[in-house]
Amino acid sequence: MANFDQELDASGLNCPLPILRAKKSLAGMEAGQVLHIIATDPGSVKDFEAFAKQTGNELMESKEEGGKFVFLIKKN
């Protein structure tokens, strides 16, 4: 389990809420800090990839864990 600075549980939320909540969480964090996100929306896998690519934040990890989708995003 990688280390992270903040956690966001977006379970049960559907598009585009996981992305919007993540953006909000990242806004309150400092560069280099890592956000741990848990989601259940299968669309969020592609969406967090696209989000990271377009915002310049690094998607360090994206995996499925016990039916949930888990992401680690490092703020740029």
Partner 1 sequence: MSNKKLAIIATKGTLDWGYPPFILASTAAALGYDVEIFFTFYGLQLLKRKMKVAVSPLGNPGMPMPMGMDKWFPVIGTAIPGMQSIMTMMMKNKMKSKGVASLDELRDLCLEAEVKMIACQMTVDLFDMNPADFIDGVTFGGAATFFEFAGEADITLYI
| Active-site residue set | 15
Q: What is the rounded distance in angstroms from the CA atom of residue 49 to the CA atom of residue 59?
A: 7
Closer residue to partner 1, CB minimum distance, 50 or 63? 50
Least distance (Å) from partner 1 to the CB of residue 3?
A: 25
Q: Which residue has the tokens 């806004």?
A: 27
Cα 15 to its chain centre, rounded Å, is 13
Site residues (vs partner 1, CB under 8 A): 12-17, 19-20, 23, 40-41, 51, 54-55
Closer residue to partner 1, CB minimum distance, 47 or 72? 47
Entry field: residues in the chain: 76
